[in-house]
Homo-oligomer: A and B are copies of this chain.
Amino acid sequence: MEKLKEIRSYMDENGIDTALITTPDNVFYLSGFKSNPHERLLAVAVFRDAEPFVIAPKMELPDVQAAGWTGDAVGHEDTDDAWEIVARSVKERGIAPSLIAIEKSHMNVERYERLRELYPEAAFTGLDSKLNAMRNIKDEAELEKLREAARLADYAVEVGCREIAEGKTELEILTAIEFEMKKKGVSHMSFDTMVLSGKKTASPHGKPGSRKIQKGDFILFDLGVVWEGYCSDITRTVAFGEPTAEMREIYETVRRAEQAAVEAVQPGIRAMDLDKTARDVITEAGYGEYFTHRLGHGLGISVHEFPSLHGSNEMELEEGMVFTIEPGIYHPEITGVRIEDDVVVTADGVEVLTQFPKELQIIG
Give A residues with C-beta under 8 Å from B: 38-39, 78-79, 102, 104-110, 112-113, 124, 126, 128, 171-172, 174-175, 178-179, 182-183, 187-188, 192, 207-208, 210, 304, 310, 312
Contacts and interface: CB of A to CB of B under 8 A. Distances in A.
Given A79-B312, A171-B179, A179-B172, A108 B106 contact: yes
Nearest to A109: B104
A293 B208 CA distance: 38
A150 to B, nearest CB: 23
Given A109-B109, A183-B210, 14 more contacts: A102-B109, A104-B110, A104-B113, A105-B109, A106-B108, A108-B109, A109-B126, A112-B112, A172-B179, A175-B175, A175-B178, A175-B179, A187-B192, A187-B207
A58 to B, nearest CB: 13
Nearest to A179: B175
A39 B302 CA distance: 13
A165 to B, nearest CB: 16
A26 to B, nearest CB: 14
Which residue among A124, A175, A188, A192 has the maximum number of chain B CB atoms within 10 Å of its CB?
Answer: A175
B171 A183 contact: yes
A207 B172 CA distance: 23
Contacts of A124: 109
Nearest to A188: B192
A312 B39 CA distance: 18
Contacts of A304: 38
Contacts of A105: 39, 108-110
Contacts of A128: 110
A126 B111 CA distance: 13
A15 B219 CA distance: 57
A328 to B, nearest CB: 16
A105 B106 CA distance: 11
Contacts of A110: 104-105, 126, 128
25 contacts: A39-B105, A78-B310, A79-B312, A104-B108, A104-B109, A104-B113, A105-B108, A105-B110, A106-B108, A108-B108, A108-B109, A109-B124, A109-B126, A110-B126, A110-B128, A171-B182, A172-B179, A174-B182, A175-B175, A175-B178, A175-B182, A182-B208, A183-B210, A187-B192, A187-B207
Contacts of A79: 312
A237 B42 CA distance: 33
Which residue among A107, A109, A179, A188 has the maximum number of chain B CB atoms within 10 Å of its CB?
Answer: A109
Nearest to A113: B104
Contacts of A112: 109, 112
A2 to B, nearest CB: 27
Contacts of A310: 78
Which residue among A79, A110, A126 has the maximum number of chain B CB atoms within 10 Å of its CB?
Answer: A110
A224 to B, nearest CB: 16
A305 to B, nearest CB: 10
A190 to B, nearest CB: 14
A192 B182 CA distance: 12
Closest 3 CB pairs of A and B: A104-B109, A104-B110, A175-B179
